[in-house]
Every structure is written in structure tokens, then in C-alpha cells.
């Protein structure tokens, strides 16, 4: 028994088994626990960062898809605008073509009406004039500047069914540089066209074609002369006003 001073205060003592590895074990467990907490925090941070990355990637994909959709819509609108412009031009051209067709039909109707009047004259029994007749001369403007379509009509009356033979001469009179000039029709037709002045018909014959008036020439009259040699010799002449035949 240890020495004890009598009358002194004594401390209670606890007897603990001697285990030198226990402290090391506790320290190791604490270190392992700290490492586990640190690793858990690190993994949670990585998970949270990955989740944020996935959300951001999804948003980027959605925005990219929206941008692509908007671009497609813009391209479609531009295409529609272009098509609308082309359609407008096509409509304008179609209207011009329709108007040109209408004008051509009107001219054709006028020509047919004139032909009907001429046929009535040919078949009229009250006709007192006989032999070669200059029935008509018509001039119709074309789409080209200073270019006209002409038609001279010759017929015979009171000679039965005989074939009439002869020739015709057509000229346009007017002014050029203040002087009166007479230009044969052959000089006014565009090359290589020629004027066939030969007459050979039973009932009627047309001499027609195109003629081009010079810019420095002001036409005033059309002079038509014709001569038949059979079945009845005859010379006829008729003068038409340029303004009258052009205006119809």
C-alpha cells in the first residue's frame, strides 16, 4: 500500500486497463470519418455540378432548336415574299398579253366586218358598175413603230364567171422636208418582201402585206391604179385619204 500521510485529503483513483493500441484505433477511426465526410461532400458537389451541367445542356439544346425553327420560318417568309413578287410580275405580263390579244381580236373583227361588207357588194344584184373595180384599201397599225398592215381589194362585176387579168400600181403620196413626194409601195415594204401587182381572179383578189413609213415622211394619200386586159379592158383609179383609212 502506498504511503499516505495521515489527515491529508485523498484523491480517488480509477484503475484502467492498459491498452496502448486503443488510442491509435480511435484516432484512425476519426481520420477515416473525416475522410468519409470530405469524400461525401466532394461527391455531392460533383453531382450537383453535373446536374447543373445537364440542365444547362438541355436549355442550350432547346434554344438551339428554337433558333433553327425561327430561321426556317424566316426563310419560308422570304420565299413567300419572292414568290409573291414573281406572281405580281407574271400577273402583269398576263394582263399585257390579254390586252394585246383583245386588241388583235378587235382588229380582226373590224377586218371581218369589212370583208362582209365587201362580199355583200360583190353579190349585190343592183350593182350597175361593170368590169374591174377598186373596192377597198385598208391600213392597220401594228405593234412596231411606223409599221402598218395594208390590204387592197379588187373585184369585178357584170362579167359573169370570166377570169379577170390585169395589174395594179399602188403608191403613197405625202410630204418630205416640205416637198411633195410620191413613193411606190414597193419602196415601203420591208425587205425582202415584194409587192405582187399581178391581177388574176374570178370574183375578187387581195393585195396585202406590211409597209414601213420613213420617219421623215408624212403620208397624205394612197393612190391606187389598176388596169384589166381581159375579159374587158379597163383602167381605174382611186385615191384614199391616209387619215381615213388608218382611222377606219
Residue extents of the structural domains in the chain? 19-123, 129-247
Q: Which CATH superfamily is domain 129-247 in?
A: G protein-activated inward rectifier potassium channel 1 (2.60.40.1400)
Average pLDDT, the chain: 79
Tens of pLDDT, residue by residue over 94-137, are: 777 777 777 767 666 766 655 665 555 555 544 556 789 999 99
- Report yes or no: 226 and 154 within 8 Å, Cβ to Cβ: yes
Residue 108 backbone dihedrals phi, psi, to 5 degrees = -65, -40
Give dist(CA 104, CA 112) in Å, integer. Answer: 12
**Which DSSP category does 187 fall into?**
G
Residue 90: what pLDDT? 75
Question: What integer pLDDT is reported at residue 243 of this predicted model?
Answer: 92
pLDDT tens readout for residues 51-103: 655 556 666 677 788 778 888 887 888 878 778 777 777 777 777 777 777 77
Question: What pLDDT is recorded for position 126?
Answer: 45
pLDDT per residue over 144-197, tens digit each? 999 999 999 999 887 677 899 999 999 999 999 999 999 999 999 998 888 999
Chain segment 209-220, per-residue pLDDT in tens: 999 999 999 999
Cα–Cα distance for residue pair 83/85, rounded to 1 Å: 5
Amino acid at each position: 500500500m502506498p504511503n499516505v500521510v495521515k489527515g491529508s485529503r485523498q484523491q480517488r483513483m480509477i484503475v484502467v486497463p492498459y491498452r496502448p493500441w486503443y488510442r491509435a484505433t480511435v484516432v484512425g477511426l476519426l481520420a477515416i470519418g473525416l475522410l468519409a465526410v470530405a469524400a461525401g461532400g466532394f461527391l455531392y458537389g460533383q453531382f450537383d455540378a453535373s446536374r447543373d451541367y445537364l440542365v444547362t445542356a438541355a436549355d442550350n439544346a432547346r434554344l438551339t432548336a428554337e433558333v433553327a425553327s425561327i430561321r426556317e420560318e424566316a426563310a419560308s417568309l422570304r420565299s413567300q415574299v419572292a414568290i409573291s413578287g414573281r406572281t405580281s410580275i407574271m400577273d402583269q405580263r398576263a394582263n399585257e398579253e390579254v390586252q394585246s390579244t383583245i386588241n388583235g381580236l378587235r382588229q380582226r373583227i373590224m377586218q371581218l366586218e369589212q370583208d362582209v361588207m365587201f362580199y355583200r357588194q360583190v353579190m349585190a344584184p343592183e350593182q350597175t358598175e361593170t368590169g374591174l373595180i377598186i373596192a377597198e384599201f385598208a391600213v392597220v397599225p401594228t405593234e412596231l413603230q411606223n409599221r402598218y398592215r395594208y390590204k387592197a381589194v379588187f373585184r369585178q362585176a357584170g362579167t359573169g364567171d370570166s377570169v379577170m387579168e390585169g395589174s395594179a400600181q399602188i403608191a403613197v403620196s405625202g410630204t418630205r422636208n416640205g416637198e411633195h413626194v410620191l413613193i411606190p409601195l414597193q419602196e415601203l415594204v420591208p425587205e425582202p418582201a415584194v409587192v405582187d401587182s399581178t391581177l388574176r381572179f374570178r370574183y375578187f383578189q387581195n393585195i396585202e402585206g406590211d409597209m414601213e413609213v420613213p420617219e421623215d415622211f408624212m403620208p397624205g394619200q394612197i393612190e391606187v391604179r389598176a388596169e384589166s386586159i381581159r375579159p374587158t379592158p379597163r383602167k381605174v383609179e382611186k385615191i384614199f385619204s391616209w387619215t381615213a383609212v388608218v382611222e377606219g
